[in-house]
């Protein structure tokens, strides 16, 4: 994975399609980005791409494989999603099973309760153990065309039917598609909802060991044989990420967003400094994603009281961040995240937002920037009220004209300069050092031979300064775009 800033975006969120996205990135962010993660661009029946019908095609409304390859030819490393836990209810495989039941060639493709549970049925105790973030049992009751009545595993939306990874037919499907995606240009495959793919009777059916390690090793070897690498996506306690990192896998730093908010709100970086001292180094850092700001990921890195205070600060200090947007009234059935853009979480304040991004870019790992965050986007209340979907608050689709206007904002210009610095300065190819300093400050230095980059952030005042090595004859210089600026909360 190239060590620079990576963008994460829907295929139609910046300009309406992949071709327009390519033109925008080439014209305005060529030096700022080294990679792009295009969220699911396959034909899909729900969840904005996360209920794929297949992986062999690009949804025609988004573009073509040629458009995808154009991004790669522009020098951007590509990340694609593979939904290892589920497939669309409208897929040919599930529709054949729905029609033919036990006579279908895909009868073992999905998880039938009658075959999964000893005795053919889950007890109330079994169901109570299952880890789920939805207020319903994890199955659908179906009458198959063959006349059979069957419960079929369905963890998420009713359009997302869980795959049976114990089936040889399903494994062949996974292997063929992982290989094909790498051959079509993916350098990294994100394994979406990976922890739900391991299931055993009597367990919580979430990150079940040792089964989960066999699945991950199998998927990783398949992808590596095709020239790529995997990035398992898991929202849970930070120790799971550490387990993955201990085995050499890439992980996400989903703890950083809340830790950074707490540090800025409370003007106290102590918890953040502790995390930087123990967090994995082979990781992708995030502040914002297509989902919400994770809460469960930071448990025990912040105390329960600190978590609640940080959430309360989100609702009181953020811009248009309301508790009601995180309730079933807005189709939010999850308790582990807060729906909000990161810019609005910081009160739509340019100074606080740039402080947060600067710290992210100095954190251990490779920084990923969500497309709304790239443009310092505010909460989209109009879209939220239109769809009544809480996550849409952070899913605004930008026209090319909107993007041109956003690029004129000082906060976006400065963020772009920070990203260019992070993507091009050789110090970040070296070693991370957390410097001993005063309690209210955060100091980080990266060193690579004679190259160095240093940030000093004062959390009491909300200001920071970046210094970096320039050409040898110039010695240590301040980052030009930020020199003489004082960013204050």
Query: Looking at the annotation, which residues are catalytic?
Result: 192, 233
Smallest Cα–Cα separation from 310: which of 346, 286, 270? 346
List, in order, residues 6 or more apart from 297 with CB less than 8 Å away. Answer: 235, 236, 237, 238, 254, 255, 258, 336
- The three-class DSSP label of residue 472 is coil
Contact predicate 118/202, CB 8 Å:
no
172-176 — which CB contacts under 8 Å span 24+ positions? 173/93, 173/109, 174/82, 174/84, 174/219, 174/222, 175/222
Contact predicate 260/464, CB 8 Å:
no
**401 membership: H or E segment, kind and range:** helix 400-406
What is the DSSP code (8-state) at residue 110? Answer: B
Smallest Cα–Cα separation from 324: which of 231, 393, 375? 393
- Helix residue spans in 101-156 (DSSP H): 113-116, 124-129
List, in order, residues 6 or more apart from 71 with CB less than 8 Å away. Answer: 18, 21, 22, 25, 36, 38, 78
Distance CA 463, CA 262 (A): 16
- Distance of alpha carbon 91 from its chain centroid, rounded? 25
Cross-strand pairs, 14 = 398
- The three-class DSSP label of residue 417 is helix
Distance CA 2, CA 365 (A): 11
Distance CA 426, CA 421 (A): 9
């Amino acid at each position: 994975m190239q060590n620079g800033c990576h963008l994460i975006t829907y295929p139609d969120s910046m300009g309406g399609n992949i071709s327009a996205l390519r033109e925008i990135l080439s014209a305005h962010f060529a030096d700022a980005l080294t990679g792009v993660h295009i969220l699911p661009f396959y034909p899909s029946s729900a969840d904005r791409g996360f209920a794929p019908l297949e992986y062999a095609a690009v949804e025609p409304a988004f573009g073509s494989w040629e458009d995808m390859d154009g991004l790669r030819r522009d020098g951007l490393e590509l990340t694609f999603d593979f939904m290892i836990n589920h497939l669309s209810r409208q897929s040919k495989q599930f529709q054949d099973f729905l029609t033919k039941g036990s006579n279908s060639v895909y009868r073992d493709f999905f998880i039938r309760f009658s075959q999964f549970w000893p005795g053919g049925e889950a007890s109330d105790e079994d169901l109570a153990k299952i880890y789920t973030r939805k207020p319903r049992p994890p199955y659908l009751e179906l009458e198959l065309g063959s006349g059979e009545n069957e419960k079929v595993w369905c963890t998420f939306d009713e359009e997302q039917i869980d795959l049976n990874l114990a089936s040889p037919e399903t494994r062949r499907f996974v292997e063929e598609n992982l290989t094909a995606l790498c051959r079509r240009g993916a350098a990294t495959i994100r394994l979406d909802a990976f922890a739900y793919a391991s299931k055993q009777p009597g367990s919580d059916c979430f990150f079940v060991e040792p089964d989960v390690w066999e699945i991950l090793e199998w998927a990783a070897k398949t992808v590596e044989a095709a020239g790529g690498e995997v990035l398992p996506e898991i929202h849970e306690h930070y120790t799971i990420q550490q387990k993955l990192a201990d085995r050499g896998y890439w992980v996400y730093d989903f703890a950083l967003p809340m830790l950074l908010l707490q540090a800025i709100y409370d003007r106290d970086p102590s918890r953040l400094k502790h995390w930087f001292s123990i967090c994995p180094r082979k990781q992708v850092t995030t502040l914002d994603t297509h989902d919400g700001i994770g809460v469960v990921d930071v448990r025990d890195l912040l105390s329960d009281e600190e978590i609640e205070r940080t959430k309360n600060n989100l609702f009181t200090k953020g811009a248009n961040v309301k508790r009601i947007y995180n309730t079933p009234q807005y189709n939010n059935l999850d308790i582990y995240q807060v729906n909000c853009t990161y810019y609005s979480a910081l009160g739509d304040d340019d100074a606080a937002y740039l402080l947060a991004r600067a710290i992210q870019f100095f954190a251990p790992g490779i920084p990923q920037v969500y497309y709304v965050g790239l443009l310092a986007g505010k909460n989209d209340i109009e879209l939220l009220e239109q769809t009544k979907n809480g996550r849409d608050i952070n899913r605004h689709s930008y026209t090319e004209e909107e993007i041109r206007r956003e690029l004129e904002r000082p906060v976006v210009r400065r963020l772009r300069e920070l990203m260019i610095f992070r993507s091009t300065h050789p110090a970040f190819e070296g070693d991370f050092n957390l410097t001993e300093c005063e309690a209210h400050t955060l100091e980080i230095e990266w060193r690579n031979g004679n190259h160095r980059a240093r940030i000093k952030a004062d959390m009491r005042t909300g200001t920071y300064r970046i210094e970096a090595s320039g050409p040898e004859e110039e010695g240590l210089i301040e980052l030009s775009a930020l020199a003489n600026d004082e960013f204050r909360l």
